Structure 1
Amino acid sequence: MQGQSLWRRCMFLAHQCANMEQLKAVHALFTTSGLHRNIYAISKIVSFCATSPSGDVGYATLLFSRLASPNPFIYNTIIKGMAMRRDPYGAIFFFKLMCRDLGADHYALSFVLGAFSEPSTAVYGRQMHTHIVKGGYLLHDVYIQISILRMYCDCLCMVDARKLFDEMPQRDVVLWSVVLSGHVRGGDCAAALQMFQEMQVSGVQPDEFTVATMIASCARCGALQQGRWIHEYVINKNPMNLDVVMNTALVDMYAKCGCIEEAVRVFEHMEERNVLSWTAMIGGFAVHGLANYALHCFHRMERSGIVPDDITILALLSACNHAGLGQMGFKIFNSMQTNYGISPKHEHYGCMVDLLCRAGCLYEALDLINSMPMKPLASVWGSLLSASRSHGNIGLAEHAVAALLDLEPEGDGFYVQLSNVYANAQRLGDAARARKKIGNVGIKKTPGCSLIEVEGMVAEFVAGDESHPLSREIYEALDLLYHDLANDSFHSCYLSHYGASWHQ
């Protein structure tokens, strides 16, 4: 009886652990009571160390190394912990050990696939896919199929993802959602919207997660018409519960697509709001230059009891930046730690540097850059370079370019901007030498890119690209426009046809 009581007490304490200090104390109790020899008991210790946010996967591997015969649960827990911490090499190592000692089960396969979540790990993901197919796992396990599909999407290997998706005999809403979200993460909003239309044709009804993903895609590429259609779809054609997640996505979409009034309308009708909802609305006001509305929304948020996070503060600083409210911006920036317990991140410093640059306070901006607790990235030095060009400050422009080239040796626009600074100051020799360096280091200008929504479809155009199916007609129309502009006949022609509509 006494042994059972000790067992229950130890297990209870193991479940109550909140940090490694408490865990190690429980582990010591296990050792003194002899429970460290019990594989079930030690698995609880390993599970906390490997998978808890406050755990220590290194401690878990140390415990693992002292086990004579680890069971499948412990192997899977270690592999899962490695995957959660984005350690593909550790996950592969323990996966190979498990294959050697016990043979892999579908849990181990799904966990190790989850470790490949960055484009740099795609090669290992493909190797694992090959291993799974050769082992016959893929033929009968839908869960493994989803894991492989998600792996390709996480690694932004959308060609592989789409090929695997098209080969699947049964494609439910989960599979469609995985590929759709992969397109959105990769920035290919046009492909996501096209695939969503294919999903409609196939007869698969989207769920709330899929709809929220597509609304986010519309926000990212500015597809207002598609976003409106999806909003109408979830209200009338396929009624869904407009929960806080979907409503927040709608607020963000309307704001980013230029319809701030519609964003406000959705926001004010929300029955529930969280920190993301308030942040989306504040950010919407910010991008529209409505700083006072953003500040008012922030005060409403505080009165509602919602605590802001670092993204909320960044949206608020952005509002002050766009409106030139330097004093208010620095008041918020300086109170982040005191009032909200939020340490400024690089993005916050970058926003304040940009605010100073817009105000012409270039040396104050340089002082702030030099005081940053982290290494300034290209975005910060880029703000200083642009402001130095606008104000003709050659010394700071040269300093900013040197810092930028240290970060990005093949940066395509730094020498161009520096050359323009020299040219504006009539230092034509320096301007020519700056331009010459572009060819010497093999820098090639990154072509410009733009998106436009036409009749519900989003088209992407890249400077100099001729891949669009109507590229010949587009370039012919451009040549005609250039010709008409050169002859000054375009203006009268355009006004005679469309001028009256401006007043309707």
Structure 2
Amino acid sequence: MRFSSELEHSSSAILSLLRGCKTIRDFNQVHTHIIRGGCDQDHFLITHFISICAAVLPSNLSYPAAVFDCVTRPNIYLWNVLMKSYCQNSSLNESFSFFKRMKRGLDVVPDKYTFPSVIKACSNVSALEEGRVLHGVTVRCGTDGDVFVGSSLIDFYGKCGQIGCARKVFDGMPVRNEVSWTAMMVGYLSFGDMAAAKSLFDEMPKRNTATWNAMIKGLVRLGNLNCARNLFDEMPVRNEVSFTTLIDGYAKGGDMAAARSLFDQLTHKDLFSWSALMSGYVQNGKACEAVKAFSEMQDSNLKPDEFIMVNLMSACSQLGCSELAKWIDSYMKNESFDLRRAHVAAALVDMNAKCGNMERAASLFEEMPKQDLISYCSTIQGLCIHGFGSQAVHLFDRMINEGIGPDDVAFTVILSACTHAGLVDDGCRFFELMVNSYSINPTPDHYACMVNLLGKSGKLESAYELIRSMPVESHAGAWGALLEACRVNCDVDLGEVVASRLFELEPHHAGNYVLLSNIYAEADRWSNVFNVRDKMSKSGVRKVPGCTYVESTMAA
């Protein structure tokens, strides 16, 4: 950056240059000329410097803080702009530390513009005690009657589940606006009190689009899609958020036809709406449709962000398409996505693992700045899918040794890996570890894995005793695994006992009858085969004919 002598003394010119700053070096150059021009104590100029610097370099607040410290007697505007930056980009501890420093200052007193930022920082992490302290300070500073401070407090108490406190603040406000009413309504929705939320919504003297969207979002979250749609249809003005919220609701409810229909009505489709549609397809097992949606988005000349790409990677994981995985991997690198971001790295690991490129998955996994439970499980599951059972066991042990505690899902993954690889001893070890060391109560899925593992290894009696000892409700999957093991091991007597239990649990499941029939057939007990078929007929149970379904993701 080059400066003329005139520019050095022109606040408007320096402001113009500030807005063009992109790096720490740019800001250093501008700050140097501010100092040379004798403007380092110009509150107006320094306020803009700190605001722009914090916005461009949110992860480096030490620099704007150092500029602030050079000001001899900063006014309230300077304090507030840095306070807001801390609250938006730093931890609550750092934000509170700066707030306490402000309170100790002799020249300023926190005002109605100070508190909303700090209260919001408490809301974001549900810091109830700290927020209550702030509430007390607002009273002492005489700002508790301000509409924006009051609205922030209502939002805070609502997010912390203190709906009574939120209502008390609301009722005590001398003036309310749409933000106050909406914050109180959202509090009731978060609390699950739909009747109170709807009553407040109906009482509101004036509603803005954000109010309507908040009510629709609350109805969607509670699963009341019909009321959400009715409210959507009543809206005087809708925006992208209105459409995206309802699209997301339909997707979560499994109605992708309605989600797509609503999406097609949206005039301006932004990244959020495309992401909601793709995420819905992925959640509902329609990976091909998600890939097609991505192609449509590209045709509209909209560049995907990392969240869109994570959805695409999830779809690719479901498809197990190695060619698509290679294209995504290449695209992510060429378009300079940050592959070290946790959710991006985890999705890449999962995609490569499930699409058969375990070498790439392992490389990405090891390059992650910090491996977490999700990335470990993705890699372990990939190893399991592609027949590397021993490596999966080794990686699970490594995860535990590194101090990452497995949850019930992680144990389901490793028990499945042991089952596929026939690692009976390791499976039993992990099951005991889960119960005795991590105090996790086995779920029906855990029992099904263990029964399957023991059954495949020929330990039918052990598997049967394990099912009988289940403290949870009987699980058809576990009994079904044992029945299949009886077929493989030609154990007719136990097969009859297991089948009898399955007929009670799933009286109309044809597969159980067929399995028992096959057990009899392999034992040459044909009269029993005919009896089972006759029982199926009398019970109205029919075997669905098999078919092969091939779906292509390639364009015709």
Identify whether the pair has TM-score above 0.5, normalized to the shorter chain.
yes
Letter in 1 for 2:11: C
Alignment correspondent of 1:211:
212
Deviation at 1:270, TM superposition (A): 1.6
Q: 1:31 to 1:55 in 2, by over 3 A?
A: farther
Q: 2: CA distance between counterparts of 1:397 and 1:62?
A: 50
3-state DSSP of counterpart to 1:116: helix
Instruction: From 375, 391, 394, give the equivalent of 1:396.
Output: 391
Q: 1:301 to 1:46 in 2, by over 3 A?
A: closer
Deviation at 1:331, TM superposition (A): 1.1
Question: Larger relative contact order (C-alpha < 8 A, sep ≥ 6)?
Answer: 1
Aligned pairs for 1:200-349 within 5 A: 200=201, 202=203, 207-217=208-218, 219-220=220-221, 223=223, 226-235=224-233, 238-338=234-334, 340-344=335-339, 345-349=341-345
Alignment correspondent of 2:152:
147
3-state DSSP of counterpart to 1:106: coil
Q: 1:362 to 1:215 in 2, by over 3 A?
A: farther
Alignment correspondent of 2:134:
128
Q: Is the 8 A contact 2:287 2:315 kept in 1?
A: yes
Which structure: larger Rg?
A: 2
Q: 1:16 to 1:209 in 2, by over 3 A?
A: same
Deviation at 1:209, TM superposition (A): 2.0
Letter in 2 for 1:143: F
Deviation at 1:309, TM superposition (A): 0.8
Instruction: From 24, 30, 55, give the equivalent of 1:26.
Output: 30
Q: 1:364 to 1:306 in 2, by over 3 A?
A: closer
Farther off after superposition, 429-438 or 311-320: 429-438
Q: 2: CA distance between counterparts of 1:438 and 1:375?
A: 24
Alignment correspondent of 1:108:
114
Alignment correspondent of 2:66:
62
Letter in 2 for 1:164: A
Q: How many residues align?
A: 446
Farther off after superposition, 191-200 or 261-270: 191-200
Q: Is the 8 A contact 2:65 2:82 kept in 1?
A: yes
Deviation at 1:260, TM superposition (A): 1.1
Q: Does residue 79 in structure 1 map to residue 80 in structure 2?
A: no
Q: 1:45 to 1:296 in 2, by over 3 A?
A: closer
Q: Does residue 157 in structure 1 map to residue 160 in structure 2?
A: yes
Farther off after superposition, 109-118 or 295-304: 109-118
Deviations 1:310-350 (A, max 9, x none): 11112122222222323212212221232x43233443443
Q: 1:430 to 1:402 in 2, by over 3 A?
A: closer
Q: CA RMSD in A?
A: 4.1
Q: Is the 8 A contact 2:219 2:225 kept in 1?
A: yes
Deviation at 1:263, TM superposition (A): 1.2
Q: 2: CA distance between counterparts of 1:289 and 1:94?
A: 48
Q: 1: CA distance between counterparts of 2:352 and 2:70?
A: 58
Q: Does residue 177 in structure 1 map to residue 182 in structure 2?
A: yes
Aligned pairs for 1:438-449 within 5 A: 438-445=434-441
Q: Is the 8 A contact 2:7 2:14 kept in 1?
A: no
Taking only the aligned residue pairs, the percentage that are identical comes to 20
Letter in 1 for 2:183: V
TM-score normalised according to structure 2 size: 0.68
Aligned pairs for 1:377-388 within 5 A: 377-386=372-381
Letter in 1 for 2:136: T
Q: Does residue 434 in structure 1 map to residue 430 in structure 2?
A: yes
Q: 1: CA distance between counterparts of 2:25 and 2:502?
A: 75
Letter in 2 for 1:106: K
Letter in 2 for 1:157: C
Deviations 1:356-406 (A, max 9, x none): 544566566435423x34333211221343455667754223223224323
Q: Is the 8 A contact 1:219 1:253 kept in 2?
A: yes
Farther off after superposition, 322-331 or 345-354: 345-354
Q: 1: CA distance between counterparts of 2:200 and 2:249?
A: 21
Q: Is the 8 A contact 2:88 2:121 kept in 1?
A: yes
Alignment correspondent of 1:10:
11
Letter in 2 for 1:148: L
Q: Is the 8 A contact 2:188 2:197 kept in 1?
A: no
